[in-house]
Amino acid sequence: MKTYLADLAAAQNSSGTAVNAAREYLQARILETLQWVGAMGPLAFHGGTALRFLYDTGRYSEDLDFALERANEGYDFRRYLREIRQAFLDEGYDVSLKVSDKKTVHSAFVRFPGLLHELGLSPHRDQVIAVKMEVDTNPPRGANLTKTVVRRHVVLDLQHHDRASLLAGKVHALLQRPYLKGRDIYDLWWYLSDPTWPVPNFVLLNNALEQSGWPGESMSRTNWKTAIYQRVEPVVWGHVLLDVAPFLEQDPLESGFTKERLLQMIT
């Protein structure tokens, strides 16, 4: 499988894209191991990387985000990490873990020192490429779960938030992040570009807003776009592009990712 990764990286048209593709391959292999050890029972995949794997958004993503939706089904974060590390060690990877699981959000960096150098993507032998995993062990209630089989380097049977719940998570991030990320704004544009995508799961969205101390009114079909518009309209689009452009497969202008177009879709 290391040969597969080397061929994958070599086939890309730039070093930045090659790094993104390599990280995505590592993400897929981590998800594969999580599947093998039964983690897709208690955990539900969500967030930007879930959107990428499930719906091919045209944007690479960095982190693997999960919600602990079924805690009674044997959740064991450190066991999952041990299995992930061993799976990579068995294939000749140098891999280490940096774990933080004392707070509500359990997180870990699965680190691969020297891999970028081995792939010819860095002159530095000690440069690290890492995949961050996060599990919210006290997620807001109300998410609807579903399963999807995906083939992205390997075959994955993923339990994840459904479409309305995924959008609810993105709206919550847009409303509550202190600083907006260009990647979140791109994902919003992607959601709104699909006329078949359902409105947010408002039960989940409002529970998430309450949990995070939202000072405004509850969200509904009649006001959620207004709240998003007020958040997005003041952003400096150049800053948005600086954040998201390194992760896009297509030039933003060619894909229609502009501030004017986004604001039109919101209104």
Confidence at residue 253, expressed as pLDDT on a 0 to 100 scale: 82
- Which residues fall within 8 angstroms of residue 75, CB to CB, at 6 or more apart? 39, 42, 43, 68, 135, 137
Report d(CA 180, CA 190) in Å as an integer: 16
Q: Which of the four pLDDT bands, split at 50, 70 and 90, describes residue 72?
A: confident
Contacts of 145 (CB under 8 A, 6+ apart): 44, 69, 159, 160, 161, 162, 165
Residue 159 has pLDDT above 90, yes or no: yes
Residue 13: the pLDDT is 93
- Model confidence pLDDT, tens digit, residues 88-123: 999 999 999 999 999 999 999 999 999 999 999 999
Tell whether domain 1-161 is in CATH 3.30.420.40. Answer: no
pLDDT recorded at residue 64:
99
pLDDT of residue 254: 87
Over residues 244-259, the pLDDT tens digits come to 999 999 998 889 999 9
Q: pLDDT digit string (tens) for 213-227?
A: 999 999 999 999 999
Examine the pLDDT at 63 and tell me if it is beyond 90.
yes
- The pLDDT value recorded for residue 1 is 72
What is the arithmetic mean of pLDDT over 136-140? 98
Location of each CATH 3.10.450.620 domain in the chain: 1-161
The predicted structure's pLDDT at residue 99:
98
Cβ proximity of 105 and 139 under 8 Å: no
pLDDT, averaged across the chain: 97
- CA 22 to CA 213: how far, in whole Å? 37
d(CA 33, CA 72): 20
pTM: 0.96
